[in-house]
Amino acid sequence: MALELQVRHPRAHLNRRDEARGILNGPPYDEVTVSRSRSLGEVQSSGPGRAGALSGLPITRVDNGLAFESARKRAKDVAQRARRTRKATLVLASALAESRGRWIQRLQDTLAVCEVTERRALEQVMAHLRPDILVVDLTLPGLRRVRGLRDIQRLSPSTKVLALTDAPAEGEGVFALKAGAKGYCARSIEPEHLKKAVATVQKGEIWAPRKLLHGLIAELLSLTDGGRNEGLRPNLDARLDGLTARQRMIADLISRGACNKDIANRLNISERTVKAHLTEAFRSTGVSDRLQLALLLKGHPCSWG
């Protein structure tokens, strides 16, 4: 009989033999998945000293044949809990048990959370639950990183997606946003910041690292232009009403990707004056950088992690 065993090892049980057999290090315990076509008893007793190492430890047996049914049941349970508590639904997709535990502690107060650990279960939950928000680790088994985001988004087009990555990169961030994600940030994000990021994407705003600013501005503005059709103008945010004529002119130039030097030459003013106008524009609109100002002008407010 094919079994999948999930074993949580206290640090005291680890040694060089454990490491050689694929048991990974990580405080305060180690979690290993072992698939064997043998009985549970044979797995526990195989190898010198292995029975002692496994004896008494919590082991969960998972029947792969019930994976889809289990995913559907979880989706149903979360939907019922959301209706009962009037909470928005969130799917947390990550294979990292310790990270999921930390994140859920901060999210479950305001959201009905459903956990999944691999792509097939994610597809089932997305199709049956159609959650308000999806927080997905791009290293999720079977996802193929950002290449799999568009397919997942198609299962529930209204779901707001926040992508977590092990190594934030400009190209990947732009690709994730093009694929439909509303947010992109490092997987090492603190739980409190993750909660803020979730609230941001839930409102339809963008959440991304500040260091992606330069690479994102041209890409995102081309996306919000809807194919650069200048005949279509978005509904302008009321916060823009507080800008002076000169500040608005500078904001318009920024929305076209102009740098401070270009703006200064275009308006025949000094770069120092451009910076002064920008500072006042940021204060007036409540944004903190030029990309947020540009997207606000395009009708797409955003926030940064």
**CATH number, domain at 289?**
1.10.10.10
Do 88 and 135 lie in one domain? The reply is yes
Do 204 and 232 lie in one domain? The reply is no
Do 172 and 112 lie in one domain? The reply is yes
pLDDT tens digits for range 117-153? 999 999 999 999 999 999 999 999 999 999 999 999 9
Do 175 and 197 lie in one domain? The reply is yes
Decide which of 305 and 231 is more confident: 305
Do 102 and 159 lie in one domain? The reply is yes
Is residue 230 a part of any domain in this protein? yes
Is residue 166 a part of any domain in this protein? yes
Which three-class secondary structure state does DSSP give residue 219? helix
What range defines the domain where residue 246 resides?
Answer: 225-304
- Measure CA 177 to chain center: 11
Torsion of CA 190, 195, 200, 201, to 10 degrees: 90
**Average pLDDT along the chain:** 75
pLDDT of residue 56: 41
Decide which of 224 and 4 is more confident: 224
Do 129 and 8 lie in one domain? The reply is no
Q: Whole-prediction pTM value? A: 0.59
Locate tokens 């005291």: which residue? 12
Do 200 and 229 lie in one domain? The reply is no
pLDDT tens digits for range 206-223? 788 766 665 666 666 565
Considering its fold, how many domains does the chain have in total? 3
CA distance 43 to 36: 8
Do 22 and 93 lie in one domain? The reply is no
Is the model's pLDDT at 27 over the cut of 50?
A: no
Do 127 and 12 lie in one domain? The reply is no
CA distance 283 to 243: 10
Q: Which of 174, 208, 242 is the last residue of a domain?
A: 208
pLDDT of residue 252: 87
Q: How confident is the model at residue 238 (pLDDT cuts 50, 70, 90)?
A: confident
